[in-house]
Amino acid sequence: MRGKYPILIGAALMLSLGMGLRQSLGLFLQPLTRDLALAVADFTVAIAVQNVTWGVLQPIAGALVARRGFRPLMMAGAVLYTAGLVVLATAHGLLGVIVGAGVLIGAALACTASAIALAVASRAVSANVRSTVLGMVTAAGSLGSVVAAPLGQILSDSQGWRIGVLSFAVLASLMLPAAWLAGRVDRLAVAPLTGDALDGGTARAAIAAAFGNGSFLIMAGAYFVCGMQLIFIATHLPSYLALCGMEPMLAAHALAVIAAFNVAGSLFFGWAGGRWSKQALLGGMYVARSIVLGFYFAFPPTPLGTLVFAGCMGFLWLGVGPLISGSVVEMFGLRWQAMIQGIAFMSHQLGSFVGTFGGGLLFDAYGSYDLPVASRRRHGADGRGRADRLRAGAAAAPGARLSARKRRHRP
């Protein structure tokens, strides 16, 4: 086991940087769109492209792992991630934002994020400790936002959003040595599960087995809701809090709290997945998330309420990783785990597309994150006019928009 520690550490560091940086990109939404004269929906188009690219390429990356190995794929992903952030930092229009934050980072995540990192960890350990180890790798992988979110916010406030994004590129370059370490897993033989024919089969047979498994299809469908919830928070929470008059650092602190509570949640659900039904735990997690989301957005935000919300969501955030990875291994074995998990992840990314792009469209249409009916009730006939004024963005001072939002929530 001792010789496998570098593999697990490399996988955890790679996952931590990849997910932490990606989840903190929403911090640049407001300054980037103001500086480049873009609408909020334009930025969310890039994030939507990122999620679709990630989702479409994830099964392909998983299939390449079975043929070419983990190391070359993961190192290529690390290079793409760094390049994507450099392109984003130097962007002067929508095309640069879409190519950098969308296409390049999306392709990089398909090669470095949870499906690949947890497949590495699954192969490196025995079945009796697999669920717990997956929880530990996921927990360590959630710490990236603890560093990235405050660093990005501080540099963005003091030096501008471009310097903030470049600092992310420097952090992303650390994924290269992490991927090299994790790539040692290629030297390990795949231990087949007893009676599992897929470990010796073809990719086509593995895909057919996945789509013929009812439990897998239900799990993949629920993954859609997971993606919609989480990417909406990561992308739109900073903008929502800014419009509600909260301090800019509150959003960074909230993302950092989410990351910190991810540790506890990942460890707990990794441990629990080795003792109880992974499918039942996933269902309970999705129901609990929906309750927390509904309660938080039903009332005007407060600093304390936002941090409590972030803690609850963080506990319920990345715990899906070890449960889904463990479920896929139990159903289909190790050889095609990355590919089959990638198929499920496509559903997650479709939900992410709806969460990020749909949220941006609604904001641009109504000038807020409220339901249209609620907005009309509060603002009457002037509601749409206010939305038009807010969409102007560059013409309206940020302080004026925040003051309007404060008045809106005044008792």
Angle, CA 44 vertex, CA 369 and CA 15 arms, to 5° = 110
Tens digit of pLDDT for each residue in 106-161?
A: 999 999 987 888 888 888 877 777 778 888 887 777 777 777 777 877 887 888 88
Alpha carbon separation from 179 to 78, 113, 134, 160 (Å, rounded): 7, 11, 17, 30
Same domain, 362 and 376: no
Structure tokens at 301: 């935000």
Same domain, 339 and 381: no
Tens digit of pLDDT for each residue in 338-376?
A: 778 778 877 887 887 777 677 677 777 776 666 555 444
CA–chain centroid gap for 350, Å, is 13
Specify whether the CB–CB gap between 332 and 340 falls below 8 A: yes
Q: Is 37 domain-assigned?
A: yes
Same domain, 233 and 143: yes
Same domain, 170 and 213: yes
Specify whether the CB–CB gap between 42 and 30 falls below 8 A: no
* pLDDT of residue 194 exceeding 50: no
C-alpha 91/C-alpha 227 separation (Å) is 27
Same domain, 144 and 278: yes
Q: Is 188 domain-assigned?
A: no
Same domain, 328 and 313: yes
Same domain, 170 and 313: yes
C-alpha 189/C-alpha 176 separation (Å) is 24
- The CATH number for 145's domain is 1.20.1250.20
* pLDDT of residue 320 exceeding 50: yes
Tens digit of pLDDT for each residue in 268-305?
A: 887 888 778 888 888 888 888 888 888 888 888 888 88
Alpha carbon separation from 364 to 51, 361, 388 (Å, rounded): 20, 5, 8
Q: Is 189 domain-assigned?
A: no
Same domain, 254 and 379: no
Average pLDDT over residues 208-237: 79
Q: Which of 237, 254, 262 is nearest to 303 (CA)?
A: 254
- Residue indicated by tokens 């304390």: 304
Q: Is 191 domain-assigned?
A: no
Query: Largest alpha-carbon pair distance within the chain?
Result: 68
Domain count, the chain: 2
pLDDT band at 169 (very low <50, low <70, confident <90, very high): very high
Q: Model's pTM, two decimal places?
A: 0.68
Q: Is 156 domain-assigned?
A: yes
Q: With left for phi above 0 and alpha for psi between -120 and 50, is residue 282 left, alpha or beta? A: alpha
pLDDT confidence of residue 59: 84
Same domain, 383 and 356: no
C-alpha 140/C-alpha 40 separation (Å) is 32
Q: Is 395 domain-assigned?
A: yes
Q: Is 193 domain-assigned?
A: no
C-alpha 14/C-alpha 119 separation (Å) is 13
Residues spanned by the domain of 80: 2-179+202-366
Q: Is 323 domain-assigned?
A: yes
Angle, CA 386 vertex, CA 381 and CA 387 arms, to 5° = 110
* pLDDT of residue 85 exceeding 90: yes
Same domain, 52 and 123: yes
